[in-house]
Amino acid sequence: MNKANLKKQIHKELGCFLNEHGFTKKKEGTYLKISNDIICNICFSFGSIGFTCAVAMQPLYVPDHSPILHLTFGKRLSRFKVLQREWWPYDEPTRGIAEIKALLIKNGLPWFEKYCSPEGFIEFFVTGKVAEYGLFTDEYYQKQFVGFSLIRLGHLEEGITVIQSMLSEITERSAEWMHGYKARITELIDTIQNNPDKVDDIVADIIQENRVALKL
């Protein structure tokens, strides 16, 4: 089966199911739901040997260095809590789609339901769920998610401390774009510290900026 026909079959067999769980099609093979200012992403990929599916969450209240949908906090379903085949072959599309749906029901959708909130992000990273779910997210990004989740909840001092720890990991050897991001976040933290009464407006601006950049 060619990729174009497979994408149509995926939507035919999973579209209504995903709609029932609040997801809408962003583009072929990508389904999104926004809850608590967090993007829940179900993303199909089509390689040379077969197709696969990943789940990811992306907080809109975190200033991003690039306006794209990414899988920084996510994983292929075949490696998410369970370890099985990496790709499903193109010559067995119905079986592959059925197995992916089963994994979404078993692991993917419950993960979204339980952890798709600022409180859920904090719990997930602080209580060591990263290894349990097979999400070996870089500590830099863990601090980023936790720090801005704390700020989103109004725990400014604690959140700023976590973010400053994140920024300390950006050294002279870091990529140039990381130094630009560090300067931006440092300025943002200064603004929050000097205007704590306006933090809700500041966070709202970040969310809106990301929504526009991602065309949501």
Amino acid at the residue 76: R
* Total of domains in the chain: 1
| 38-76: pLDDT as tens digits | 999 999 999 888 999 999 999 999 998 887 888 889 999
Q: Which domain does 6 fall in, by range?
A: 1-216
| 185-213: pLDDT as tens digits | 999 999 999 999 999 999 999 999 999 99
Nearest to 3 by CA among 78, 91, 100: 91
Amino acid at the residue 75: K
| 7-28: pLDDT as tens digits | 899 999 999 999 999 999 998 8
Neighbours of 125 (CB within 10 A): 22
What pLDDT sits at residue 136? 74
What pLDDT sits at residue 1? 65
- Decide: helix, strand or coil at residue 55: strand
Residue 7 has which token pair? 């994408």
What pLDDT sits at residue 58? 95
What pLDDT sits at residue 3? 83
Nearest to 56 by CA among 6, 4, 124: 124
| 99-110: pLDDT as tens digits | 999 999 999 999
Whether 84 has a pLDDT exceeding 80, the answer reads: no
What pLDDT sits at residue 86? 76
Nearest to 149 by CA among 32, 56, 36, 72: 36
What pLDDT sits at residue 33? 97
| 156-190: pLDDT as tens digits | 999 999 999 999 998 888 888 889 999 999 999 99
Q: Rounded mean pLDDT of 211-216?
A: 93
Whether 122 has a pLDDT exceeding 90, the answer reads: yes
